[in-house]
Amino acid sequence: PVHPYTRALVAAVPEPDLNHQLDFAALMEGKASMPEAWPEPFALRGPEQAEVFHDVGGGHLVRAWENAVLDTGNDRAQAGR
């Protein structure tokens, strides 16, 4: 996942091992549930700036600012191409 909130949701899924303790620290890192704390390119901006959908590969789209640079985890993709 590219979006910080989605990454936090995935991190919240527990391991299917009863000997593995739950680690809630990963959920608090970066405050993914607080939009005002989201990093670029997901940071909140005024209504005058446009958000568009960007193709991040594999048929997946994410919504971010028009000239955003997205970290897809595999490489860095220049959005808006």
The 3-state DSSP class for residue 33 equals: coil
- Residue 75 makes CB contacts below 8 A (sequence gap 6+) with none
Query: Cα Rg for the chain, rounded, in angstroms?
Result: 15
Q: Tens-of-pLDDT digits for all 81 residues of the chain?
A: 777 778 777 777 777 777 877 666 766 665 666 777 777 766 766 666 667 888 888 888 887 776 666 666 644 444 444
Q: What is the pLDDT of residue 29?
A: 63
Question: DSSP character for 45?
Answer: -
The total domain count for the chain is 1
For residue 53, the enclosing domain spans 4-78
Distances (CA, A) of 12 to 16, 22, 27, 51: 12, 9, 7, 27
